[in-house]
Amino acid sequence: MSLVIAEQVRKIYRTGETEVEALKGIDCTIEPGSFVSFVGPSGSGKTTLLNLIGCLDKPSEGTLIVNGTDIAALNRTEGASFRGEHVGFIFQDFNLLPVLTVYENIEYPLLMVQQIPAKDRPERILRLLKAVGMLEQKDKYPDQISGGQKQRVSVARALVTNPKLVLADEPTANLDHNTAYQVIELMKNMRDEFNTTFIFSTHDQKIVGEAEIIYTLEDGLLTDRQVKGGNGNG
Ligand code: ADP
Ligand code: MG
């Protein structure tokens, strides 16, 4: 079964008397283990769509099924536990907690999500630190590491709860091109190692070429779908 099924998803933001139709009827399916990018100019709806898939917000109309769950039907508490169990997030500005070390930042989501027993946590954190190449920096604080290293830590933090899906909204926007490329490659390697589905948004055409499935968004509509090979394309 597809991990994400969107049918005629619309999102209308209402502020006072003005309405913005940010998504105008999105249809797409995303298979488990795929490496997907949403590309499009600023204002095209990338963040809105990622927020809906990540259950941070609800569609105004249409159907959105993620991992078999109808997102629109969840209340706040159910939505929070859905995110905690199934979704990891990576942000443009990293969002690491400055008072926690690299190790503690990765550990942090585990304190909220209970299904990984405490005795298994250090092994899991160390495995991820190793996988993202940050083992030697584990006792440093975020202000002691580079932007690229911060995003590596974010990737590990997103994966530590063993989510089905990782959503990354413009994860490379604050990185230079080489570092951006390396972070995308790291995400792809993590997909290979953990079979986690990754969806990232970008407006950078060079970076988007690294995705295996590329959805183009324009003015709230998906206008193109390109498949570049790799797994999870079914
Ligand atoms: P992107 O991430 O591609 O830049 P967004 O999803 O952020 O696009 O925005 C899509 C459209 O929705 C834009 O016109 C934006 O101004 C509008 N929008 C986004 N968030 C809100 C909000 N919270 N309230 C009102 N309008 C919004
Ligand atoms: Mg955005």
- Number of helices followed by number of strands (H, E) in the chain: 7, 10
Looking at residue 25, its pLDDT comes to: 98
Looking at residue 232, its pLDDT comes to: 44
Domain, as residue range, for 194 = 32-55+73-227
26 in any annotated domain: no
Please name the residue whose Cα sits nearest to atom 13 of ligand 1: 43
pTM of the model: 0.95
Number of folded domains in the chain? 1
Q: Is the CB of 44 under 6 A from ligand 1?
A: yes
What residues form DSSP beta bridges with 224? 216
From first CA to last CA, the distance across the chain in angstroms is 10
User: With contact defined as beta carbons under 8 Å apart, do 212 and 36 qualify?
Assistant: yes
Looking at residue 234, its pLDDT comes to: 40
Looking at residue 114, its pLDDT comes to: 65
How far does residue 197's CA lie from ligand 2's centre (Å)?
20
CATH number at residue 174: 3.40.50.300
Give the DSSP H or E segment for 205: helix 205-208
Looking at residue 233, its pLDDT comes to: 41
d(Cα 198, Cα 209) in Å, to the nearest integer? 15
7 in any annotated domain: no
How far does residue 175's CA lie from ligand 2's centre (Å)?
16
Looking at residue 229, its pLDDT comes to: 66
User: With contact defined as beta carbons under 8 Å apart, do 145 and 154 qualify?
Assistant: no
79 in any annotated domain: yes
Q: Over the chain (234 residues), what is each successive 10-residue block's mean pLDDT?
A: 97 94 98 97 97 97 97 94 94 97 95 79 95 97 97 97 96 94 96 96 89 97 88 43
Q: Is the CB of 43 under 6 A from ligand 1?
A: yes
Please name the residue whose Cα sits nearest to atom 16 of ligand 1: 43
